[in-house]
Amino acid sequence: MSFEAWIIATGVLVGVSCGLIGTFLVLRRMAMLADSISHTVLLGIVGAFLVTGSLDGIPMFIG
């Protein structure tokens, strides 16, 4: 099996398992809102760094 096939297989397995666990948590009303907000903030910070290429305070705050 090639390296790319392992990457795709791993992505599919992670996606399926996270989808099942996420659905279960939403149905049990345990959706962990704080975790989702913190992951969204992390994505904004990474996006701001990729766009600006610096760790200055203002772009990180906007991100």
Residue 34 reports pLDDT greater than 70: no
Domain residue ranges in the chain:
1-31, 33-63
CB 63: neighbour CB atoms within 10 A? 17
Question: Do the beta carbons of residue 51 and residue 59 sit within 8 Å?
Answer: yes
More confidently predicted of 48 and 29: 48
For tokens 């992951």, the residue is: 39
Q: Percentage of the chain surpassing pLDDT 90?
A: 0
Over residues 12-36, mean pLDDT: 79
Residue 51 reports pLDDT greater than 80: yes
Question: CB-based burial of residue 52 (10 Å sphere; 0-12 exposed, 13-18 middle, 19+ buried)?
Answer: middle
Q: Could you tell me the pTM of the whole model?
A: 0.46
Residue 27: φ, ψ to 5°: -65, -30
User: In this predicted structure, which of 10-14, 30-34, 49-53 has the lowest mean pLDDT?
Assistant: 30-34
